Structure 1
Amino acid sequence: MSASCYHCGSPVPAGAPWTITLEGEPQPLCCPGCEAVAHAIVGSGLAHYYRYRTELAPRPEESRARAQTWQAFDHPELQARFVHAADNGASATLAIENITCAACAWLIEHHLNALEGITESAVNLSEHRLRVSWDPSILAPSNIFAELAAIGYQALPFEPDQAHQREKREDRLRVRRLIVAAVGMMQVVMFSIPLYIAGPDELGAGFSALFHWLSLALTTPVVLFSAWPFFRQAAHALAHRRLNMDVPVALAIGAAYLASAYAVVAGRGDVYFDSIAMFTFFLLVSRHLEARTRRRGGNALGSHLPASALRLDADGIERVVPASLLEPGDRLLVQPGTTVPADAVIEQGESSLDESMLTGEFLPVTRRVGERVIGGSQNMENALVVRVTHAGKQATIAHILDLTDRAFAHRPRLARLAEAMVQRFVLRLLLVTLAVATAWAFIDPSRAFWITLSVLVVTCPCALALAAPTALAAGHGALGRRGVLITRADAIEALAGVTRVVFDKTGTLTRGEMRLADTRPMGSMDAARARQIAAAIEAHSEHPIARAFGPFRRAGFKAQAVVREPGQGLHATLEGATWRLGRARFAAGHEIAPPGPGQWLLLSQEYTPRAWFRLEDTLRDDALEAVAALDALGVGVELLSGDEPETVKALAEALGIDTWQARATPEAKLARIQALQAEGERVLMVGDGINDVPVLAGADVALAVNGATDLAQTRADALLLSPRLVRVGEALETAGATRRVMRQNMAWSVAYNGLALPLAALGLVPPWLAALGMSLSSLVVVGNALRLGRRRRMAPPVSSLRQTVNA
């Protein structure tokens, strides 16, 4: 039985020469990496680490201890991102990997503190972070990283996204305000209950005054700290001559607090500190829930990209470089458990990657040599060597974030309507409040102030203001988790009203992975030469058909003056002759019957037929489920394709689509969309390629599928990032639910205010009940929106379908 490594616990190979002597006894080690780390630990006088540790250390990589590996951190541009000036020199926060127990923290701190130039180091064990300060004139950052690597710990600059950090700070402050309001409310209510039950006369003047002063003391931090955002936002709105819901909130809280405080100091009048605390607490609860809904619905893709990457130099040495400095052509090493820092193509290795942050599909996908990996996806199994294709602003995530920003830059119609209603409602509320105050000043001056306050509180349009934003945030989040990215503001509302879905065929219902199944040369043409000529012509096309001819391209054999006729084919000049490739009528100048069923392309030279090519495509796995799901929703389905009637008819019958059209040019597709719209249909067009751009632009709402061309994506209202076509039906269902929730929230808000206003104006609603009613109305709105995040995905109505069709 082989011995175990004293440092990491791995089996020690037979005859291994690596050892470390501790307390006079040699201990076996498994590799040079463990030997280097163990000797570094013992040589630093830190052998007690092995006595204190509760878990074995991970096996180190020998290359980590090389000083040149960390020289990138001496780069001024990179230092500017993570090194900060301090009183005693420089400081930085580092993320430490391989920390397993408290002994690791002890080892790191003692090893670094013993170095000349280190002024302070402290490990946050729970967060696996190291805060270190040093003298830059004595020590360079690369030395710190190298020293950590020497004792077996890999470190990287801790650089979370600034927006994410700001959001966390705001969230913590929001929670603190909520806690202060909660504690204050509970204590003030405790002091108010005896006054409500027994009354001031039975309690006595002394106890009543004591309870009032205690309530004032407890309510003051609630008003000045917890409720401060309401005052700040109200002042900002008034400074810009606008009215928002914070204006009546600030007026209610401020007026009630000042009136109650005056009553305590003067010793006469009513106090409603409990109402103030309850009002503030419940309003903060609704705001907190709204913020959580927005955060869950917001796009956090930017935080998926790492701040640094392992770049491989020409000699194969790993160097840590900022991810922002990556360029196309760079070779990177992506270790298991790490995130791909940029879009790339695999050069070595095979592994499973988690792409759920983009596609919403939580099952990892296997990627092999030559396949594309997306920046932000997580490597699950094996190390990969990849070559960067797009980085920075050209990466997929950056493109998606741009589209998302475009979507949130404008408000959909219902949201704009709600915002306009809030502004008008606030103005009318203030006018009504003034009228109520004037009327009660004549009816009963002693009750005028508190009845006016009740009107101001109970009719605060908080629920109305939250109605649309919370539902939209939850809807965006629910769609994002299903791999559907909304890129235009009105897309959710448009999706909710769709009555007919029109599919393109190639690349949409099918995979778009065309392959050349048969070649039929004509006359003296050789089959191999026919394929080479077709490949040279198709080399200038982005259509999926062009990929079928890719394997037959010959270096140096290029076509000239290539022109694409949309929906027909291509013509080009090659070796002094004009060649045409596409439909038979286009290539030959007249109709010619193909040699058999399927999709056939004709190659002609000066209109003389030279060869037939038969192409095949594979149907998407869940195409049948997608069509069946749309039928179950009561949405009509139609197929428009530029392919031959036999092929389109076979596909339509296989999927159960009754309405289809073959040989449809882009103009014919657009005409069909316009005809459907003239009949009152709300049309969703689902496509993928350049040919679909006109019809995507003409549809009521356009959805570009996974793998669509960049031009199609920019014209689409939504992107299907998931490879599963069944998400189209789920998107319609979720969009419909989002619109219903927005309408429900707005209806509830209007109904509540319409009922509460007359009751409060008649003096039937005391301030504490007004605060409770307003808060509960806001919580109802937020809770209703949160239901969208708990909606289950549509169950597949039929089993999956796998088959190859002649496309």
Structure 2
Amino acid sequence: MTASLDTPSSESYACYHCGEPVTGRSPWTLELDGCRHPLCCPGCEAVARAIIEGGLASYYRFRTALPERPLDRRDATAEQWSLFDDPGLQASFVHDDDAGVHASLSVDGITCAACAWLIEHRLNALEGVTGSAVDLTHHRLRLGWDPQRIALSRLLAELAAIGYPSRPFEPDEAQRRLQRESHQQLRRLIVAALGMMQALMFSLPFYLAGNTGLDADFDRLFHWLALALTTPVVLYAAQPFFLQAWRDLRTRTLGMDVPVSLAIGSAYLASAWAVVSGRGEVYFDSVSMFTFFLLFGRHLEARARRRGGATGNALANLLPMSATRLDDDDEPRILPASELRAGDRVLVKPGHRVPADGLIESGASSLDESTLTGETQPVVRRIGDIVTGGSQNLESPLTLRITHAGRDTRVAGLLDLTDRAFAKRPRIALKSARLAHHFVLQVLLIAAAVALVWWFIAPDRAFWVTLSVLVVTCPCALALATPTALTAAHGRLHRRGALLTRADALESLASIDRVIFDKTGTLTTGKIQLIDTRIVDDDDPRHLQAIAAALEAHSEHPIASAFHTHRLPDVTADDVTRQAGGGLEGRIAGTNWRLGRPDFAADRAPAPPDDGPWLLLAEEGRPRAWFALDDRLRDDADATLAALRLAGLEVELLSGDAEPRVRELAEHLGIADWRAAMSPEDKLDRLRAHQARGERVAMVGDGVNDVPVLAGADVAFAMNGATDLARTRADVILLTPRLQRVAEAIGLARATQRVIRQNLGWALLYNLLALPLAACGLVPPWLAAIGMSLSSLVVVVNALRLARPGSFRHFTAPVSS
């Protein structure tokens, strides 16, 4: 990257980074995309190198302004962080929305839940930080801050200072880093396993010989061989424990790696001194065994986290890098998918992925949407259907009109909602982390007390008894109990097509007493059809249908799809507004039109033609036409409601539709508690009345009119076809059209709560039983290592049951809150 640029000295160039003039032959250059570009100073070189090595080379391709020239000095360490304050660079990874300014960062050096606690604790203590949360699955940090009070460079420097250097999150680079860490972790595990087996082989004769002992020569030989085999285990395999313990001590925190490192380090040094001096006990087998079982437990935990987060990581890589855009003459042109804009026309060939959200203008094909919805069967999409970016075209070419591209796509929205789920740690996870943190301090104090007591009882045994106490009470199981179960549950729900957007959603779901459903688009498919048109005066029905279609073109409600085929190019609506629960209002050819409930469309609306679900179209308050709509019940609605009732939950239907249709649907589904013609305010009042009686209520909806009640519910479900506004208020987004995912989510939440309590109970019970035995000198270090490791394995294996289909029934007895 820094090779000299051979150019005549008389020529003048502009610095590729900052734009300052470069005269003559510059010793500083930047190599990018096969070309070598001149730089004006070592400061620009250091900044450019940091940008390229950070995986942000696209900054130079898409920037719209040049940054200021950095300080002209060779020691450019500060610039490696200050460059991230550049607005052009931040545009690629910093988001500013209703939630404030936030970014996703990849973090190096994370080994366990204690690392996440340390990072969050340190950042949240800084003035100007609005929130931070670590995703242990992908070593990813979601960071929110106020740019007016603190700079991003300060936050990155703070992370580096405590041993966790960070960079903007790039899915491909993050995946490669996780693979490298996984391979390194596996190598450490193999070294520990080989060392344990060989050290145990040389220790076994001493156990078998009993009081008679071995020949002195064999004794000394086996001890030296065990020392040689255990040394790489301690120096290489156990290295992460020592590094993390040093970070903890340096930042004045106590993580579980502190007692672990004390146990491994002190046992190894004491055994090594015994070999060199010829006096004392030797426990190399215990050291290697303890290291192996710890690494094995963390390896299982990491696998569980990676498996649980596989679907979320797949979303990040779902959109293709390139797309085929069609110009006005239908000539194809391949370009980066990031350059697509709403309104572009693209060609999607068979076998290719859809580059952005769009509407099919020509063609019909089967699409694989399994990564998005969890449904394994392909779905058929035809002209007029909406397709989601990331879906894979399987059969025939499709021409799409892009509706949402880049950060506005559904995939990008789902990723942001997934990040939001980690913006706040679950309450039960915070309690567990605090419990493990306090437990470490208590273990160290107890170990010191045990050492003091045994120093007076039997000084020759004091060290080894204390070591057994440190090993047997290592809070690994306690630290793994909650995050492993939550990760397994999140992963299983995501694979089944339910995306959690709030950290406490699982905990809240487990204590739900009542589930309230909307009707249209929730209990029904939302694929509404126009089945009848009644004209009030002698008008052209096709023209009035086109007017209704022009109004509905500005709506995301499922009703809009019923009018899509009736649109005419010369009939368009302006200034369209929606009244929640009422309908649409807009201007067409200078005239005010309303479409919706009769009392909204006209001041003195006539009675509908019959008891069916009718919409009224009115011009300047004068009724012009009635439209009859019909919707189909979801196939699994009966099974879902039956499962909820079996779980002891109350089921209720609240709908804004007319009473006859709502009554008919409620009777068909056996819903005794239902309300019709409900406005959003009425629904919210009804929900609050239930909450005032002490009930915890879940709401399932999809439309703009459901937003207030979704926001007020204890847990809010948004259907797969929900409006964007409804999704932003949801705690759980269903990515699949199957309503039964609501029942599965509640069932799995209850199972997760039960598993977490089992894990915490087992971890505490084990420590309460093992601690007095070890303190009394009844547990040797090698047995303590096995006991601690088995305790951790029990917790991990129990949590992994949540990730296996069929491991739990969907519903169990309610879990008290």
CA contact (8 A) 1:200 1:208 kept: no
**Corresponding residue SS for 2:631:** strand
CA contact (8 A) 2:747 2:809 kept: no
Q: How does 1:34-49 map to 2 (within 5 A)?
A: none
**Corresponding residue SS for 1:304:** coil
Q: How does 1:204-215 map to 2 (within 5 A)?
A: 204-215=215-226
Q: Distance in 1 between matches of 2:327 and 2:571?
A: 34
> Residue 253 of structure 2: which of 197, 221, 242 is its match?
242
CA contact (8 A) 2:748 2:810 kept: no
Q: 1:37 maps to what in 2?
A: none
* Greater mean alpha carbon deviation, residues 525-534 or residues 771-780: 525-534
Q: Within the alignment, does 1:280 sit opposite 2:291 as a pair?
A: yes
Q: How does 1:560-575 map to 2 (within 5 A)?
A: 562-572=576-586
* Greater mean alpha carbon deviation, residues 405-414 or residues 284-293: 405-414
> Residue 232 of structure 1: which of 243, 246, 249 is its match?
243
**Corresponding residue SS for 1:772:** helix
Q: 2:406 maps to what in 1?
A: 392
Q: Distance in 2 between matches of 1:794 and 1:653?
A: 31
Q: 1:271 maps to what in 2?
A: 282
Q: Distance in 2 between matches of 1:557 and 1:387?
A: 20
Q: Distance in 2 between matches of 1:561 and 1:338?
A: 38
> Residue 714 of structure 2: which of 700, 718, 736 is its match?
700
Q: 1:472 maps to what in 2?
A: 486
Q: Distance in 2 between matches of 1:331 and 1:581?
A: 31
Q: How does 1:447-458 map to 2 (within 5 A)?
A: 447-458=461-472
1:691-725 residue CA offsets vs partner (Å, 9 max, x unmatched): 11110100001011101111111111111001111
CA gap of 1:319–1:586, structure 2 versus 1, over 3 A, is closer
Q: How does 1:52-91 map to 2 (within 5 A)?
A: none
**Corresponding residue SS for 1:548:** helix
Q: 2:186 maps to what in 1?
A: 175
Q: 2:426 maps to what in 1?
A: 412
* Greater mean alpha carbon deviation, residues 166-175 or residues 523-532: 523-532
Q: 2:730 maps to what in 1?
A: 716
CA gap of 1:581–1:390, structure 2 versus 1, over 3 A, is closer
> Residue 738 of structure 1: which of 752, 770, 773 is its match?
752
**Corresponding residue SS for 1:589:** coil
Q: TM-score, normalised by structure 1?
A: 0.76
CA gap of 1:79–1:738, structure 2 versus 1, over 3 A, is farther
AA partner of residue 294 (structure 1): R
Q: 1:607, CA displacement in angstroms? A: 4.5
Q: Distance in 2 between matches of 1:344 and 1:689?
A: 20
Q: Within the alignment, does 1:643 sit opposite 2:657 as a pair?
A: yes
Q: Within the alignment, does 1:481 sit opposite 2:486 as a pair?
A: no
> Residue 660 of structure 1: which of 667, 674, 680 is its match?
674
CA gap of 1:607–1:621, structure 2 versus 1, over 3 A, is same
Q: 1:318, CA displacement in angstroms? A: 5.8
Q: 2:365 maps to what in 1?
A: 351
- Structure 2 stretches lacking a partner, 5+ long: 1-30, 37-169, 812-817
CA contact (8 A) 1:625 1:796 kept: no
Q: 1:190 maps to what in 2?
A: 201
1:223-278 residue CA offsets vs partner (Å, 9 max, x unmatched): 11111001111111111111111111111101111111111111010011111111
CA gap of 1:520–1:386, structure 2 versus 1, over 3 A, is closer
CA contact (8 A) 1:335 1:382 kept: yes
> Residue 598 of structure 1: which of 600, 612, 632 is its match?
612
Q: 1:141 maps to what in 2?
A: none
1:653-688 residue CA offsets vs partner (Å, 9 max, x unmatched): 122222111011000000111111122221111111
CA contact (8 A) 1:260 1:272 kept: yes
CA contact (8 A) 1:453 1:767 kept: yes
Q: Distance in 1 between matches of 2:321 and 2:575?
A: 45
Please identify the structure whose Cα radius of gyration is greater.
1
Q: 1:427 maps to what in 2?
A: 441
CA gap of 1:593–1:331, structure 2 versus 1, over 3 A, is closer
> Residue 789 of structure 1: which of 792, 800, 803 is its match?
803
AA partner of residue 286 (structure 1): G
Q: Within the alignment, does 1:253 sit opposite 2:264 as a pair?
A: yes
Q: 1:302 maps to what in 2?
A: 316
**Corresponding residue SS for 2:317:** helix
Q: 1:23 maps to what in 2?
A: none
CA gap of 1:349–1:564, structure 2 versus 1, over 3 A, is closer
**Corresponding residue SS for 1:517:** strand
Q: TM-score, normalised by structure 2?
A: 0.75
Q: 1:284, CA displacement in angstroms? A: 0.7
Q: 1:444 maps to what in 2?
A: 458
Q: 1:365, CA displacement in angstroms? A: 1.5
AA partner of residue 689 (structure 1): G
Q: How does 1:614-693 map to 2 (within 5 A)?
A: 614-693=628-707
Q: 1:595, CA displacement in angstroms? A: 1.7
CA contact (8 A) 2:743 2:810 kept: no
Q: Distance in 2 between matches of 1:416 and 1:668?
A: 37
CA gap of 1:681–1:590, structure 2 versus 1, over 3 A, is farther
CA gap of 1:78–1:723, structure 2 versus 1, over 3 A, is farther
Q: Distance in 2 between matches of 1:770 and 1:796?
A: 38
Q: 1:428, CA displacement in angstroms? A: 1.0
Q: Within the alignment, does 1:765 sit opposite 2:765 as a pair?
A: no
CA gap of 1:332–1:527, structure 2 versus 1, over 3 A, is closer
1:120-160 residue CA offsets vs partner (Å, 9 max, x unmatched): xxxxxxxxxxxxxxxxxxxxxxxxxxxxxxxxxxxxxxx98
Q: 1:625, CA displacement in angstroms? A: 2.2
AA partner of residue 457 (structure 2): I
CA contact (8 A) 2:747 2:810 kept: no
> Residue 770 of structure 2: which of 723, 747, 756 is its match?
756
Q: Distance in 2 between matches of 1:230 and 1:485?
A: 34
Q: How does 1:100-249 map to 2 (within 5 A)?
A: 161-199=172-210, 201-249=212-260
**Corresponding residue SS for 1:681:** coil
Q: Distance in 2 between matches of 1:611 and 1:411?
A: 53
CA gap of 1:793–1:766, structure 2 versus 1, over 3 A, is closer
Q: 1:520, CA displacement in angstroms? A: 1.9
AA partner of residue 402 (structure 1): D
Q: 2:115 maps to what in 1?
A: none
AA partner of residue 268 (structure 2): Y
Alpha-carbon RMSD across the aligned residues, in angstroms, is 2.6
**Corresponding residue SS for 2:509:** helix
CA gap of 1:201–1:330, structure 2 versus 1, over 3 A, is farther
Q: 1:387, CA displacement in angstroms? A: 4.5
Q: Distance in 1 between matches of 2:208 and 2:807?
A: 51
**Corresponding residue SS for 1:353:** strand
**Corresponding residue SS for 1:305:** coil
1:498-554 residue CA offsets vs partner (Å, 9 max, x unmatched): 121111111111122222222222244553444344344444443333333344444
Q: 1:197, CA displacement in angstroms? A: 0.9
Q: Name the count of aligned residue pairs.
A: 645
AA partner of residue 745 (structure 2): A
Q: 1:286, CA displacement in angstroms? A: 0.7
CA gap of 1:524–1:306, structure 2 versus 1, over 3 A, is closer
CA gap of 1:391–1:741, structure 2 versus 1, over 3 A, is same
CA contact (8 A) 1:622 1:726 kept: yes
> Residue 477 of structure 2: which of 449, 454, 463 is its match?
463
* Greater mean alpha carbon deviation, residues 445-454 or residues 621-630: 621-630
AA partner of residue 321 (structure 2): A
1:396-450 residue CA offsets vs partner (Å, 9 max, x unmatched): 2222111111112321011000001111111111111111111111111111100
AA partner of residue 302 (structure 2): A
- Structure 1 stretches lacking a partner, 5+ long: 1-75, 82-158, 798-807
CA gap of 1:246–1:198, structure 2 versus 1, over 3 A, is same
